[in-house]
Amino acid sequence: MVAMAALAAVAIAQEQTPVEVPARPPVDAPELARLGRYAVGVQRTRFVQPGQADPLQGQDRPAIVDRELPVVIWYPAASAGQGITYHTALSGEDGRDVPFDLPGLASQDRPVAGGRFPLVILAHGYGNTPEVLSWLGENLASKGYVVVAPAFRDPPISIRTDAARAGPIARRPLDIAFVAHEAQRRASARDGIFASADLARTALIGYSMGGYGVLTVGGAPLNPAMAGLSRGILGPYAAGGAKASELAVPGVKAIVALSPAARFGDVPIWTGKGVGAITAPTLIVVGDHDRVVGHEAVRALFTTPAPAPRYLLTFQQAGHSIALVAAPPAMRQRFWDMDWFEDAVWRKDRLLPIQTHFITAFLDRYVKGEMDKDAYLNGLTVQSDAGRWPGAPVGRVAQYSPGPPASTVWKGFQPGRAVGMTFEYRPAP
């Protein structure tokens, strides 16, 4: 009875422990992770694309249905209101949804701030939801970006059938292209919240399966063999196919791929120059112990010759779960549920702000054209641990490194916090 009472007390304490808003960085976060000057608004809508092949339906061939995608939009707001609580769910080991809540920074349906802001398409991974990427969507909105995050409604990841696997493979690039085109169309028509989005300055961000999607939509030509993994759906969109051009999104200034899927078994995803055909600057983020997509396969995306700048941020000892929020209390009771969120080595309140820092520098530089952000991206020592700051105070130093020439500690990091990472840069030819 004593043991049972102790367990009950622990459970109650977990439920009552306050969860920090993921978009708000802690005090040891790097400089550019801090929130921007705008309040953050959030709206929800639905995009419907008629006559789409659904690999999860149909017997001999995929059924043709109207494809409906719920969409979360984070945007710069004119004023703040009460912070939202997100209600969402991820699939458990038995395939049934496990619901949980996440605190948000955004306020529902606030008036949009004045101005025109770059458009960001934010694509989640297999079995995820937009809400688990709120750390990035809300943070970018506070810095003057309109972030559009569709919910792809994947089948439970524990289902191992060929049709279930074909669902995300087939639909992810098609859905991302459709959402980007539809958001740009509404921006051009000055429709509602999209009137504040500048379609000529578009960025694509994707995690895991979403990373595969944004690299494909960003210009990497699909291998025709991908038709076999998608119940034939991707055949017309592969290199040389009649619909290949429909995947192209105009106005893309930058691409961010977080732990992107780079292979599906023995089938190469892309053909020809592969990701080397992408003409937009690209930032890739991965853990060197990622056993889901494979660190070496992702690293090859960085080393492939390309006509635009490439960046690679690697977290040493990190696995695949680098881009979701920290596990909420409801997802900490079973290993399967917690493993969606938590890395074996890295704290989430370190992983997410570091990614936010570099993504902010990258988008500000290549989408907004802020040249001063080059100092946060170029000329850094490859190994974060190798940085030195002569003359810096000894002990706990809270100030940010100014970067070269005064310091080789990565610019914007506190001296004791630039550890356990590598950052590599390949300039355009």
The distance from CA 54 to its chain's CA centroid, rounded to whole angstroms, is 24
**CATH number of domain containing 98:** 3.40.50.1820
Hey, is 28 helix, strand or coil?
Answer: coil
Q: Which residues constitute the domain of residue 118?
A: 31-388+397-426
Q: Which two tokens stand for residue 340?
A: 């969606």
Q: How many domains does the chain have?
A: 1
Position 338 in a domain: yes
Which regions of 216-271 does DSSP assign to beta strands (E)? 252-258, 263-264, 267-268
N-term to C-term CA, the chain:
70
d(CA 282, CA 298): 13
Element at 173 (helix H, strand E): helix 162-188
Cis peptide bond upstream of 224, omega within 30: no
Q: Is residue 26 part of a domain?
A: no
Q: Is residue 13 part of a domain?
A: no
Domain annotation covers residue 40:
yes
Q: 390: exposed, middle or buried (C-beta count within 10 Å: 0-12, 13-18, 19+)?
A: exposed
pLDDT in tens, the chain (429 residues): 544 444 444 443 334 334 689 999 999 999 999 999 999 999 999 999 999 999 999 888 999 999 999 999 999 999 999 999 999 999 999 999 999 999 999 999 999 999 999 999 999 999 999 999 999 999 999 999 999 999 999 999 988 888 889 999 999 999 999 999 999 999 999 999 999 999 999 999 999 999 999 999 999 999 999 999 999 999 999 999 999 999 999 999 999 999 999 999 888 999 999 999 999 999 999 999 999 999 999 999 999 999 999 999 999 999 999 999 999 999 999 999 999 999 999 999 999 999 999 999 999 999 999 999 999 999 999 999 999 999 887 778 889 999 999 999 999 999 889 999 999 999 998
Give a yes or no: residue 2 inside a domain.
no
Q: What is the DSSP letter of 270?
A: B
Has residue 309 been placed in a domain?
A: yes
**Residue 314 belongs to a domain:** yes
On whether residue 120 sits in a domain, the answer given is: yes
